[in-house]
Amino acid sequence: MSKLNFKFDKERDALNFWQLCNYECSWKDEKTDLNSNYIRAFKGKSFLDSKREILENLERLHVSPYIEFFRESLDKSWKSINDEYFNRLEKITNKQISLENFDAYITTVGRCAYYEDNSFTVSLKRPLLQAVRTCGHELFHIHVDNSYGNRLRGLLGDDKFNFLNESLTVLLNLEFRDLWFAKDVGYLQTRNLRNYISKKWKKERDFEKLLKKCIEYLKQR
């Protein structure tokens, strides 16, 4: 059975901080918890040129015992649902989980995202149940990307694939919510597709057919 490892790494946190300062997406209403002075200071600069100053700004947070308290609480909470989550994910997508281990890095900023190395960030600023839901959300993204990403990118392009992958997380509300009791709200721009996915899924719980319908939906737009 796959498992999720919770870690904290100062440089990964600094990278997430820098990425939030430089983040741009045409369809995400991304909200930032960062002071606008930080964004002005680091936007447009490379991570290499920004890292030292970011780490200095985060130093007081990084020595706080709350990071380890949060990591331990999240680890204990996730372990109670780990096997059930991965079993459901395989059953719903009809695809076997491709890896035995995934890494979740605690971050001190609000941005949570997944990376090509099959890791993701989960924010210290989220309430515990929302943080558990975030883990399910990011793992869902990784699994869809690993299982269908190459094919879907070839059909839709990167931007529409990412839009679809984000929209598909509405299935967490239909199939997983009892594991963490927190709703996956989604971005405002994905609302129409999320509603479409919910409607189709309730009629027929077949992930491959759902993807085909979503491809048709997106190609018409």
Domain extents in the chain: 3-219
Mean pLDDT across the chain: 95
Q: Which candidate, 11, 24, 23, places its Cα nearest to that of 54?
A: 11
* Structural tokens at position 122: 């989960």
164 and 185 in contact (C-beta within 8 Å)?
no
* C-alpha–C-alpha distance, residues 88 and 105, integer Å: 23
Q: pLDDT digits over 11-60, tens only?
A: 999 999 999 999 888 777 665 677 788 889 999 999 999 999 999 999 99
| pLDDT over 90 (residue 194) | yes
pLDDT at site 162: 96
| pLDDT over 80 (residue 172) | yes
CA dist 25 to 19, 42, 93, Å? Answer: 12, 17, 27
Percent of the chain with pLDDT over 70: 98
Q: Which candidate, 135, 189, 138, places its Cα nearest to that of 159?
A: 189
Three-class SS of residue 2?
coil
* Structural tokens at position 150: 């190459």
DSSP code, position 107: E
| pLDDT over 80 (residue 215) | yes
pLDDT at site 25: 80
